[in-house]
Amino acid sequence: MAELNKIYKCNVCGNIVSVIVAGKGALVCCGQEMELLEEKTAAEEGKEKHVPVVEISGNNVTVKVGSVPHPMEEGHYIALVQILKGDKVVAGKRLYPGDKPEVSVCLDSTEGIRARELCNVHGLWKG
């Protein structure tokens, strides 16, 4: 069963799906069940360029990917940044090679805010 606000990947073609409405069935692509991407943490190797850093100033939230900026090259880049409150996605942005690995938004409330990002090479990371 697909889980709400979880991210899945097809290991055949590379399609990525973020579940916005959870159903009862399994997610299938290219004839195979899609893989649920687990959120990696600061305890993992490569954290310097992958763990999202959240900065809050009033109601403004800025998420920078990595304490050292992540590369944004054609073959290695941050594809997605999401801002969550609990398990609910409250903002997100799709990024492309050449973009700055950073997202800024203004929210009604910043209490309980966290972020996650998806690297096209190294997977899903939470901050």
If one compares 45 and 58, the residue with the highest pLDDT of the two is 58
Q: Where are the domains of the chain?
A: 7-36, 47-126
Round to whole Å and give the CA distance between 95 and 3.
Answer: 23
Of 43 and 60, the structure prediction assigns the larger pLDDT to 60
Specify the amino acid at residue 126: K
Instruction: Domain 7-36: give its CATH architecture.
Output: Single Sheet (2.20)
Instruction: Give backbone dihedrals phi and psi of 48, rounded to 5 degrees, phi first.
Output: -60, -30
CA–CA dist 126, 35 (Å, integer): 18
Mean pLDDT to the nearest integer, 66-76: 94
What does the pLDDT look like over 15-53, one tens digit per residue? Answer: 999 999 998 999 999 999 999 999 998 887 778 889 999
Closest CA to 14 of 121, 125, 126, 110: 121
Q: Shortest CA distance to 99 belongs to which of 63, 124, 48, 126?
A: 63
Mean pLDDT over 67-73 rounds to: 93
| Domain 47-126 annotated CATH 1.10.3720.10 | no
Is residue 127 within 8 A of residue 63, CB to CB? The reply is yes
pTM of the model: 0.91
User: Among 47, 35, 58, 17, which Cα is nearest to 127's?
Assistant: 47
